[in-house]
Amino acid sequence: MSVILKDLNDYIAPSQACIKPVEVNKTSDNKNNVIKIDDSGGYYEVSLDGIETKLQTAQITLDDCLACSGCITSAESVLITMQSQEELYNVLKLNKEAIDGNKLDEKKTVVISIAPQSIASIAAKYDLTPLQVAKRLTYFFKSLGVHYVFDTSFSRDFSLLESAREFVERFRFYQEKQQKKDPVNNDVKSTRIKRNGTSGGGDEAMSEAKLPMLASACPGWICYAEKTHGFILPYVSQTKSPQQIMGSVVKDYLANKLGIKPNNIYHVGVMMCYDKKLEASRPDFFSEEYQTRDVDCVITTGEVVKMFEESDYDIKTSEESSLDNFTKTSQEEELLRSSGSASGGYLEFILEYTAREIFNITGVDVDKEQGVIVKAGRNKDFKEITLEIDGKPVLKFASAYGFRNIQNLVRKIKSNNSPYHYVEVMACPSGCINGGGQLKPDEKIPIKDWILHVNDIYRNVNSLSPEKNDVVLNLYSEWLDGIESEKSKKLLRTQYHAVETTLVNPLAVKW
Amino acid sequence: MSPNLEQIAELKGHTDRVWSVAWSPTGDVLASCGGDKTVRLWVPTSENDSSEWTCTHVLEGAHKRTIRSVAWSLDGRQLATASFDALTGIWERGDGGDYECVATLEGHENETKSVAWSSSGSLLATCGRDKSVWIWEAAEDNDFECLSVLQEHTQDVKMVIWHPTHELLASASYDDTIKIWRDDDDDWYCSDTLEGHESTVWAIDFDKTGDYLVSASDDKTIKFWKSFPNNNQEGMDTYRVHPKWKCVHTLSGHHSRCIYSVSWSKVHGRVASGSGDNVIRVFEQDSSSQDDINSPNFSLVTSVSSAHGIADVNCIQWYPIEKHSNWLATAGDDGIVRIWRFVE
Amino acid sequence: MPELINANPTIYTPSKKSHRVITPEEEDENIEDKIDSREVFDLIRSISDPEHPLTLEELNVTQLEHVTVDDNNDRIVIEFTPTIPHCSMATLIGLCIRVRLLRSLPERFKVDINVRKGTHQSEQAVNKQLNDKERVAAALENTHLLEVVNQCLTTANARGNIDK
């Protein structure tokens, strides 16, 4: 365990010991019993006649973590124990027992959704192409008894489209307000958007929506914002992350299509980041009706490699399986990604989409720095991208990665000094490609070079605009009753909750 | 006659313990701060008589809790304050001569313990109980951008201090270590960890070259550290291309309780210490050890017991420039600031 | 009410002999009292436990023989015994003792407060924190913590004479 903990690379580090008060369950009410502790840290209750009873170790769950204001982010040790490959092994074992015992109704359909950053990390480590990795992972998981293996690039297209639409909605409100206030002054400042005569759930949410809109795909950032900067939550995009949209696709669309109940699907995410486990545990993504999570378990890239070792599996020499797809298309044997940053390409897509939707400007390509002004920030993890019309800035976007840039952004928004309309916020320096769950380079390779290398591999996959992804567009009509429907808002968007800084127990105050 | 310390002046005004004193870069003004949540600025009442000092300014209102440390900017126009209220205050002297709090830097989760300006004047470092060291860069309009949040100390960070000429930072911690921080491109990272003290390191100071560092600890010792450059003659192991710091001298047996402060004169090279045993001491490098740069040897030259009566000495600072380089300022739990003269 | 950390502590009856016999010299206001361990023990024995309506003496947390006073050199060392070895209350109890002595002893005294050797899982950590005056000073500016400390100190003046 300590080895894993040492390797963790969570950039918003917990700064205090866990203050969650725990309950010690004593076995009896005998007042004369005392509690003793042995060298290995085990607790024993000793009764008067000298009988020792081992007491249970207190358990802290992910739910406890989410609800507690004690530390800034998650307690990693909890994350590791609550959702791990062990859980997946267990489900697969139970499945096997159900089949052997001919109790097919107890069998679960096991679905795995893999993030493209995880594929890039494994490809870099084993010197394979992303397509090879995807096919071999499909082979590997299926050989363990998994039924479907998907790529979350697919659900990310939903996330990008929804984010772009949400931004355009917000921006239009913002424009209206600006014009009412001052038709000449185009100064961009953080603005609270209010609209009169709103109707419907989505609009209600919009009345609180503010600019700049902040990306919501990074669970580390969301967790930090909820725990320490409640005021900033209305700025955060309500669009779900790719992982959680995949959750909706699998537990709603796929379950329907297969004619099974959501709780009969066990859905596992393979992710670049430990905080994705925390995201999967959010009560917002739990179905009361079926008592099931949209994503049941998340394992990191590093944990997948541990599974290789535990199964004596060699990905270098492995066989390959064909990729699973929701609908047969011509691109069956090809991996695709959205263009832009390896953190999902949110900034790029939203900017290009908005330029076209609002300003009728086509041909903007942020990646190639066409039609926009890209300005490097004070450090490599901060970038400003501006769209100008006749020399006047009309859209100002930024990407802010890592704790230091988040700090500066939060301070700017708080003091009403943010010049931005949209900020792609990620907790990790270098973004998702450098997530805490990713594989580490061999000792000889400097970490910076390694990140560049993984990034290159990621970006070498051909890109396709989400708006041209037929599978996604088909699902919008087949599954979501069309674009901007009630159903699409229900399934593709979410909300955030400020964690109240309650003084847990004055007796447990750390000083 | 052997060297001794004589008290020149007693500066009374604080209504609670004084935690820290800081001379302005030119030595014209002494700033003090403490438990009464104020900073006081002191100047000699007249040019020729240093026995009378006047409190010219009281800076207050910006912090809700103890002000633990105060630091002057290079040009002497700004002051930074680190407070237990988690904020770092930036104060600026206006044209009228009055000081105004022009910015408060938020970021630390709880008590901020120390603040320091870099020699170039463009960077600010802060540290605190949340185990982190923050590096800030001055931006326009009295704004500061966070350049880095360094979280490698495992405990409370007590003090930060910059190298006298380079952008290199040292931090001292409750985790018994000192860490050296460097900037590579735009990333700050820990280039060395100095282990050797057996309890909290409360204070550190560089010598005038920045090649040596002195540290004072709760383990009642004062340690001297030297940076050994890469490819050094001594055959020391080095980490990457960075100099490696090594303890070259330890003074023990001089203080009977925690040593809270240490100051290394940039003018004459003497080291002064202040302790919870109420004693202040001055050490001087032995002339015989001057030649051997790898093992300097310091000896006690003078001390004052009960320097602040029955109270702990929390801070000691040599006058920064030639003019009165034999002056020392001390701060005590008795709420008093004292000025001493070192007489040879 | 949050779950108690030590729900069922052992209770000890203070010995009547532990009460101080007042000598004529002590009653004479003109003679400066020497501070001795009994005097210091009297100051802290009746501090309440943060979790129970019991005094530190009743819980055997403080004992006369674990108070050492060197009046001539202005030094006091107090050792206390947490009720259970993993008790997270230890730092709080130590803080109460420190605050009580800060408020009632002449300022000349330098006080060290330590957990008795072998009675706590994280002895060193507790001792280090209790004897770091900066941490103590900051703690006392935390109003929530100060409330708890003051609550524990309301009984301290009883000096062992609590009517039950």
- Measure CA A211 to chain center: 22
Q: What are the two backbone dihedrals, phi and then psi, of residue C113, each rounded to the nearest 5 degrees? A: -120, 125
Note the pLDDT of residue A58: 52
Residue C38 has pLDDT above 90, yes or no: yes
B111 and C133 in contact by Cβ < 8 A?
A: no
A37 and C86 in contact by Cβ < 8 A?
A: yes
For residues C116 and B239, the model is more confident at C116
Note the pLDDT of residue A479: 94
Band of residue A502 on the pLDDT scale cut at 50, 70, 90: low
Note the pLDDT of residue A175: 87
Band of residue A191 on the pLDDT scale cut at 50, 70, 90: very low
Cα Rg of chain C (Å, integer): 16
Measured in angstroms, the CA of A68 and the nearest CA of chain B are apart by: 16
- Considering A60-64, A181-185, A305-309, the range whose residues carry the highest mean pLDDT is A305-309
CA atoms of A59 and B142, how far apart (whole Å): 47
Q: Furthest-apart CA pair in chain C: how many Å?
A: 51
Render pLDDT for A444-491 as a digit per residue (tens, 0 to 9): 888 889 999 999 999 999 888 999 988 899 999 999 999 989 999 999
B84 and C141 in contact by Cβ < 8 A?
A: yes
Enter the tokens of residue C15.
Answer: 């010995």
Q: Among A242, A451, A507, A435, which Cα is nearest to A349's? A: A242
List, in sequence order, every residue forming a beta bridge with A426; answer none if it has no partner.
Answer: A401
Cβ-Cβ contacts under 8 Å for A275 (sequence gap 6 or more): A10, A73, A74, A79, A218, A219, A220, A223, A427, A436
CATH number of A81-155+241-336+469-483: 3.40.50.1780
Which run of H or of E encompasses A192?
Answer: strand A191-192
Structural domain boundaries enclosing B263: 17-308+319-327
Residue of A nearest to C11 (CA): A32
Note the pLDDT of residue A316: 96
Q: Among B343, B324, B311, B325, which Cα is nearest to B34's? A: B311
- Name the pTM for this structure: 0.83
**CATH class, range A156-239+339-448+455-467:** alpha beta
CA atoms of A109 and A147, how far apart (whole Å): 6
Note the pLDDT of residue A463: 87
Measured in angstroms, the CA of C41 and the nearest CA of chain A are apart by: 24
Q: Where are the domains of chain C?
A: 35-155
B137 and A378 in contact by Cβ < 8 A?
A: yes
Q: Cβ distance A71 to A14 under 8 Å?
A: yes
Fold of C35-155: GMP Synthetase; Chain A, domain 3 (3.30.300)
pLDDT exceeding 90 applies to what percent of chain A?
58
Measured in angstroms, the CA of C95 and the nearest CA of chain A are apart by: 10
Cβ-Cβ contacts under 8 Å for A202 (sequence gap 6 or more): A486, A489, A493
Measured in angstroms, the CA of B229 and the nearest CA of chain C are apart by: 35
For residues C25 and B332, the model is more confident at B332
Residue of C nearest to B66 (CA): C138
Cβ-Cβ contacts under 8 Å for B248 (sequence gap 6 or more): B212, B224, B225, B226, B294, B295, B296
Chain A residues in contact with B131 (beta carbon < 8 A): 15
B66 and C138 in contact by Cβ < 8 A?
A: yes
For residues A442 and A47, the model is more confident at A442
Burial code of A96-110, b = ≥16 C-beta within 10 A, e = fewer? eeeeeeeeeeebbbb
Chain C residues in contact with A32 (beta carbon < 8 A): 8, 10
Residue type, B95: D
Q: Chain A within 8 Å of C131 (Cβ-Cβ)?
A: no
Residue C45 has pLDDT above 90, yes or no: yes
- Measure CA B111 to chain center: 17
Note the pLDDT of residue A82: 65
**In this structure, is residue B266 part of a structural domain?**
yes
- Measure CA A94 to chain center: 28
List, in sequence order, every residue forming a beta bridge with A463; answer none if it has no partner.
Answer: A337
CATH of the domain at B286: 2.130.10.10
Of the candidates B131, B143, B146, the beta carbon closest to that of A404 is on: B146
- For B126-153, what is the HEC assignment? EEECCCCEEEEEECCCCCEEEEEEECCC
Band of residue A55 on the pLDDT scale cut at 50, 70, 90: low
Average pLDDT estimate for A195-206 = 40
- Give the Cβ contact number of residue A323 at 10 Å: 18
C145 and A509 in contact by Cβ < 8 A?
A: yes
Where chain B has pLDDT below 70, the residues are 1, 230-241
CA atoms of B127 and B220, how far apart (whole Å): 23
Q: Among B34, B29, B84, which Cα is nearest to B60's? A: B34
Chain C residues in contact with B276 (beta carbon < 8 A): 110, 133
Note the pLDDT of residue A166: 96
Note the pLDDT of residue A39: 55
**In this structure, is residue B339 part of a structural domain?**
no
Residue of C nearest to B129 (CA): C135
Note the pLDDT of residue B236: 53
Chain B residues in contact with C137 (beta carbon < 8 A): 17, 35, 66, 84
Residue C138 has pLDDT above 90, yes or no: yes
C132 and B200 in contact by Cβ < 8 A?
A: yes
Average pLDDT estimate for A390-409 = 94
Enter the tokens of residue B98.
Answer: 């009055």
Residue A406 has pLDDT above 90, yes or no: yes
Average pLDDT estimate for A115-128 = 97
Band of residue A105 on the pLDDT scale cut at 50, 70, 90: confident
DSSP conformation letters of C102-132: HHHS-TT-EEEEEEPTTS-TTHHHHHHHHT-
Please classify residue A175 by burial: count the beta carbons closer than 10 Å to its beta carbon, then call 0-12 exposed, 13-18 middle and 19+ buried: middle
Chain A residues in contact with C139 (beta carbon < 8 A): 511
Please classify residue A366 by burial: count the beta carbons closer than 10 Å to its beta carbon, then call 0-12 exposed, 13-18 middle and 19+ buried: buried
For residues A178 and A419, the model is more confident at A419
DSSP conformation letters of A361-375: ----BTTTTBSSEEE
CA atoms of A298 and A269, how far apart (whole Å): 5
Q: What are the two backbone dihedrals, phi and then psi, of residue A348, each rounded to the nearest 5 degrees? A: -60, -50
Subunits with 3+ C-beta pairs closer than 8 A to B: A, C
**In this structure, is residue B333 part of a structural domain?**
no
Average pLDDT estimate for A395-416 = 93
Cβ-Cβ contacts under 8 Å for A368 (sequence gap 6 or more): none
Enter the tokens of residue A425.
Answer: 């916020």
Average pLDDT estimate for A409-430 = 93
- Give the Cβ contact number of residue B276 at 10 Å: 22
Give me the residues of B, 108-167, that contact C with CB < 8 A: 110-111, 113, 129, 156, 158
Residue A235 has pLDDT above 70, yes or no: yes
A380 and B185 in contact by Cβ < 8 A?
A: yes
**In this structure, is residue B9 part of a structural domain?**
no
C3 and A24 in contact by Cβ < 8 A?
A: yes
Q: What are the two backbone dihedrals, phi and then psi, of residue A414, each rounded to the nearest 5 degrees? A: -60, -40
Q: Cβ distance A376 to A503 under 8 Å?
A: no
Render pLDDT for C50-108 as a digit per residue (tens, 0 to 9): 888 899 999 999 999 999 999 999 999 999 998 877 777 899 999 999 999 999 999 99
C92 and A33 in contact by Cβ < 8 A?
A: no
Q: Where are the domains of chain A?
A: 24-58, 81-155+241-336+469-483, 156-239+339-448+455-467
Pairing of strands B18-23, B4-12: unpaired
Chain B residues in contact with A418 (beta carbon < 8 A): none
- Measure CA B230 to chain center: 28
CA atoms of C39 and A14, how far apart (whole Å): 44
Q: Chain A within 8 Å of B107 (Cβ-Cβ)?
A: yes
Cβ-Cβ contacts under 8 Å for A213 (sequence gap 6 or more): A166, A167, A170, A235, A236, A237, A421, A422, A423
Q: Among A52, A66, A59, which Cα is nearest to A82's? A: A59
Residue of A nearest to B131 (CA): A15
**In this structure, is residue B238 part of a structural domain?**
yes
- For C48-68, what is the HEC assignment? ECCCCCCECCCCCCCCHHHEE
Q: Chain C within 8 Å of A502 (Cβ-Cβ)?
A: no
Residue of A nearest to C3 (CA): A23
Band of residue C22 on the pLDDT scale cut at 50, 70, 90: low
Residue of C nearest to A19 (CA): C88
Of the candidates A378, A407, A411, the beta carbon closest to that of B186 is on: A378
Note the pLDDT of residue A197: 35
- Could you say which DSSP state residue A353 is in? H
Pairing of strands B280-285, B271-275: antiparallel
The helix/strand/coil state of C69 is strand
Burial code of C128-148, b = ≥16 C-beta within 10 A, e = fewer? bbbbbbbbbbbbbbbeebeeb
**In this structure, is residue B343 part of a structural domain?**
no
Measured in angstroms, the CA of C138 and the nearest CA of chain B are apart by: 6
CA atoms of B109 and B106, how far apart (whole Å): 8
Peptide bond into A212 cis (omega under 30): yes
Render pLDDT for A141-169 as a digit per residue (tens, 0 to 9): 999 999 999 999 989 999 999 999 999 99
Note the pLDDT of residue C164: 47
Residue A501 has pLDDT above 50, yes or no: yes
Query: Per this entry, what is the length of chain A?
Result: 511
Q: Chain B within 8 Å of C123 (Cβ-Cβ)?
A: no
**In this structure, is residue B188 part of a structural domain?**
yes
Note the pLDDT of residue A27: 45
CA atoms of B297 and B224, how far apart (whole Å): 9
Q: Chain C within 8 Å of B36 (Cβ-Cβ)?
A: no
Residue A417 has pLDDT above 50, yes or no: yes
Q: Chain C within 8 Å of B219 (Cβ-Cβ)?
A: no
Q: Cβ distance A226 to A218 under 8 Å?
A: no
CA atoms of B275 and C110, how far apart (whole Å): 12
Q: Among A60, A75, A59, which Cα is nearest to A16's? A: A75
